[in-house]
Chains A and B, each alone.
Chain A
Amino acid sequence: MAEMTRRRGRTGYLLLLPAFLTLLVFFVLPFYSLIATSLYDPSGSDVEGFEMTYHFSNYWDAISDYSGPLFRSLVYGGVATLLCLVLGYVLAYAMAFKAGRWKYLLLVLVIAPFFTSFLVRTLSWKLILADDGFVVNTLQFLQILGDDGRLLATPVAVIAGLVYNFLPFMILPLFASLDRIDPRLIEASSDLYAHPFVGFFKVTWPLSLPGVVSGTLLTFIPAVGDYINAQLLGSTGQRMIGSVIQSQFVEANNYPAAAALSTMLMIVILAMVLVYVRRAGTEELL
């Protein structure tokens, strides 16, 4: 009897093992090693190796050297996320409520371009926004851009690229939560004297908040860390933090600085996400 109980107890732990190992291998170990690397003495190199000196000032150095790109990444990521939210909401709303039986087909069409490579998609924006291209010419004709104005190699192009590349991350959760809203609730609000506009803000919007929150998180986090868009569509003035980390790691082989920047980026994003989720008051929802 006692043997049986013990056996069962052990089986329970055995069943947890795969989850535990997965967590260990894919989260704990990399994270642990990232933090360890961020505390190495920065005077090391691949030839001599790196010494662990708990060099916490790696963090301070990283902040003072790269606050520019870090701040810029947060701004670009934030603006891109906002634009994604506006665009994505309109699209997801139309698909969920107006597209009828075409909605899933439309959903596939919206997502389809994203089966091609990230790089190819981003490069294609170079053609769209080219100096002699249709977009720039039109804007010049409308006097919105000066005659030698351009979009490529400006923040506009970088943000446009970010918006385009991360839009599906916004649309999918938005669509999922809008599609779940019972249209009869909207009818009920209209029946109760709410102008469609008011009904939207009193009923549709609050009910779609879970999608808004997860969509903005899913967009903001990768957009802040992205650097491909800045690299391909931007100029020297648009470099984002991801690109600093990448070049510190791959080009300069300054692993402690790269690790400190990565850790810091994670902390900043985590802090912003926590504040945001609190403020959005998702616990108020169902």
Chain B
Amino acid sequence: MLQGVGAVAFLGASAAALKLPFFGTDGFEQDPASCRATDLSASQMKLIVSNWPSYIDADEDPSTLSIFEERTGIAVDYSDDVNDNAEFYAKVRNQLGSCTSIDRDLVMLTDWMAARFISLGWTQPYDKANVPNLHANLIDPLRNRQWDPDLEFHAPWQTGLTGIAYNASKTGEVRSFEELLTRADLRGRVTLLSEMRDTMAFLLKITGANPDDFTDDQWGVAIERLREVVASGQIRAFTGNDYTQDLAAGNILACEAWSGDVIQLQADNPDIKFVVPEEGLSLWSDNMLIPNQATHQANAEKWIDYYYEPAVAAQLAAWVNYICPVKGAQEEMEKIDPDLASNPLIFPDDDMLANTFDFMPLDAKQSNEYEGDWANVTGG
């Protein structure tokens, strides 16, 4: 979200790629069944992967990546060029919307964006026979998502929790989102996440709605509540990853936070605590998708199946520190690092997972509208 300096130029350039005359544009929906390339996996031992930064143990020796290459003979062209879901969407929408290749075989996108890709018909279904480990080992809380209940199109890469972090040396325990939004001693020293779904899920919860299934009216109540909170001066800012800096520097006392970030902060500052809010836990994943026109689908499926082996998943989790979506990895982790195996932010226990919720998939219309409301409230 921080990229895209010079939005004006950016906008002009992307819009120029649209049709020229003073006519409208067609919709971007595609049919994956027809918009697909011949799979060259058998002849080309190659795989092109786009992921978020610091999301793989590639610098270790051996790494899960190097073992994969050795075992399968596939040369992986790995880049960490996904920095932001919306931005990535803006970058590829003209290509995928017109059934053009984006020269990638696998991209990792967060749930809501994965849902959008799938609903636009931009991703290829997996061959179920090629990913048995996925179907066998995916942990239960991540199954049956509304937007792809049968795991036809997606497989979680890593999973995280959205909760509350606070600095225990400067303030008392913060137990709930409600407290975060109302406690007088936190006034002006709280940040929320600028990802609309992360934050609004909690506001919907607080205002008595179900984030998995809510109406426009309920949305209206929740956004109104947020507007009041912002107007009261409780919230200092809506941030991306940069809240970690503020928390460490003491500029803020508590904030909405992602579990993986907090584990990394705790390494330097044990006073930073992560709490599961009383309202519940928002569980999200970044998911592996095979975009239309990918030419190495079978190789991509080998990769997916490989990372769903518990031992591989444990090795990756030991480095990445996010929640491991693979059953059996906790036992494998005991062998690598028993401390990590008992860390609930990597292997959450059933109590924690009992009360998780998700954000309902939005269609394009709703998404435009809600994002617009959100932008207006968070922008003041």
Binding site for B on A (CB under 8 A): 29-34, 36-37, 39-41, 44-52, 65, 68-69, 118-119, 123, 126-127, 130-133, 150, 152-153, 225-228, 231-232, 234-239, 242-255, 258-259, 262, 265-266
Please state if A34 and B251 are interface contacts (CB–CB under 8 Å).
Answer: no
| A87 CB, min distance to chain B CBs, angstroms | 23
Q: Which of A30, A44, A248, A262 contacts B372 (CB 8 A)?
A: A248
Chain A residues closer than 8 Å to B6, beta-carbon distance = 225
Q: Which of A68, A234, A235, A251 contacts B371 (CB 8 A)?
A: A251
Chain A residues closer than 8 Å to B21, beta-carbon distance = 36
Of all chain B residues, the one with the shortest Cβ separation from A152 is B251
Q: Which of A37, A130, A245 contacts B251 (CB 8 A)?
A: A130
Please state if A36 and B22 are interface contacts (CB–CB under 8 Å).
Answer: yes
Q: Which of B2, B7, B23, B249 contacts A245 (CB 8 A)?
A: B7
Q: Does B367 contact A (CB under 8 A)?
A: yes
Q: Which of B26, B245, B375 contacts A252 (CB 8 A)?
A: B375
CA–CA, A31 to B16, complex, Å?
8
Please state if B245 and A126 are interface contacts (CB–CB under 8 Å).
Answer: yes
> Which of B63-71, B146-154, B235-243 lies at the interface with chain A?
B235-243
CA–CA, A265 to B11, complex, Å?
13
8 closest pairs, A vs B, by CB?
A30-B12, A252-B371, A45-B364, A239-B379, A49-B27, A246-B7, A51-B24, A236-B380
Q: Does B267 contact A (CB under 8 A)?
A: no
**New A-B contacts (6) at CB < 8 Å, excluding given A33-B18, A249-B7:** A130-B249, A133-B249, A235-B235, A242-B8, A250-B90, A254-B371
Please state if B379 and A33 are interface contacts (CB–CB under 8 Å).
Answer: no
Please state if A132 and B371 are interface contacts (CB–CB under 8 Å).
Answer: no
CA–CA, A152 to B86, complex, Å?
27
Please state if B15 and A255 are interface contacts (CB–CB under 8 Å).
Answer: yes
Please state if B251 and A131 are interface contacts (CB–CB under 8 Å).
Answer: yes
CA–CA, A226 to B377, complex, Å?
20
A-B CB contact pairs (8 Å), 27 listed: A30-B13, A30-B15, A32-B16, A40-B25, A41-B24, A45-B364, A46-B97, A48-B27, A48-B364, A49-B25, A69-B379, A118-B5, A132-B249, A150-B188, A234-B237, A235-B235, A235-B236, A239-B379, A242-B8, A244-B375, A244-B379, A246-B7, A248-B375, A249-B7, A249-B11, A254-B371, A255-B15
